[in-house]
Amino acid sequence: MDALQAHIESHRSHHSGWLRAAVLGANDGLISTGSLVLGMATAHASPATILLTGIAGLAAGALSMAAGEYVSVSSQVDAERADARLEAHALREHPEAELDELAEIYVRRGLDPSLARQVAEQLTAHDDLGTHLRDELGIHDLQRARPVQAGLASALAFTSGALPPVLLAWLWPGTGLAVAIVVSTLILLALLGYLAERVAGGRGLRGALRVLSWGALAMGATALIGHLFGVSLA
């Protein structure tokens, strides 16, 4: 038993759900809020206006991410529940056909027919619905949709990404805010991309370059808009 526990592996794919949401939220918060602050700075807005824009962007973005993720994951939950009801009905009405279907799945995965039938019978006796949801439909406990957790995680991730540009807009003492926003945001984006790929099992550099490229493009676009249409809002 000790040897088995020592051999238990932690697979990268087990973290894919929360990693995707965390990286998406933090990158979105950093890029969108940083770009908003940069656009206002290049439009020669007053410090108070720049700060208010950043705070408004943080609040709106965090709530939008939470609502969007909650609605999206809730739709996934509805689909999973509908599939579970359909599968439960099939198991009640056609148990032999469902058993044959399950055995055929195991045959396609490499078991010989007699062993596949035996495995299907034993797993069906243990948990028929759970077995069919997992092996027929690919619905796993590790990947079950959880709307509330997903919404809160997305809001927190967005807020963590949006805070640096907002704090910089609040604390920066004078001129040069636009340059400071660009430099700090690009550094943080590269760091986020690097860490995300490292956690996923990669080397990190490609992830950093990928996020950095898109972030630079977004910030460049908002800086250009601010420069072209900039007026003093003080």
Mean of per-residue pLDDT scores for the chain: 80
Select, from the ranges 21-25, 36-40, 59-63, 133-137, the one with the highest average predicted confidence (pLDDT): 59-63
Query: What are φ and ψ of residue 11, in 5° steps?
Result: -85, 145
Between 109 and 24, the more confident residue is 109
Half-sphere exposure of 111 (CA within 13 A, CB side): 14
What distance separates the 2 farthest-apart alpha carbons in the chain?
80
Is 153 within 8 Å of 17 (Cβ atoms)? no
Is 26 within 8 Å of 207 (Cβ atoms)? no
Quote the pTM value. Answer: 0.69
Side chain identity at 113, as an amino acid letter?
P
Is 227 within 8 Å of 42 (Cβ atoms)? yes
Between 173 and 205, the more confident residue is 205
Question: What's the pLDDT at 8?
Answer: 45
Question: What's the pLDDT at 131?
Answer: 79
DSSP letter for 105, please. Answer: H
Confidence of residue 232 (pLDDT cuts 50, 70, 90): very low
> How many other CB atoms are found less than 10 A from the CB of residue 18?
13
Question: What's the pLDDT at 54?
Answer: 92
DSSP letter for 142, please. Answer: G
- pLDDT over 80 at 100, yes or no: yes
The dihedral of CA 24, 217, 42, 183: what is its sign?
Answer: positive
- pLDDT over 60 at 15, yes or no: no
Q: What is the DSSP string of 13-65?
A: GGGHHHHHHHHHHHHHHHHHHHHHHHHHHHTT--HHHHHHHHHHHHHHHHHHH
> How many other CB atoms are found less than 10 A from the CB of residue 48?
11
Rounded mean pLDDT, 153-160:
90
- Over residues 127-154, the pLDDT tens digits come to 787 777 787 777 766 566 678 888 888 8
- 8 token code pair: 């238990």
Low-confidence winner among 146-155, 160-169, 191-200, 208-217 (lowest mean pLDDT): 191-200
Question: What's the pLDDT at 208?
Answer: 77
Above pLDDT 70, what percent of the chain? 84
Nearest to 155 by CA among 70, 74, 47: 70
H or E element: which one contains 109? Answer: none
Estimate to the nearest angstrom the gap between the alpha carbon of 149 and the chain centroid: 12
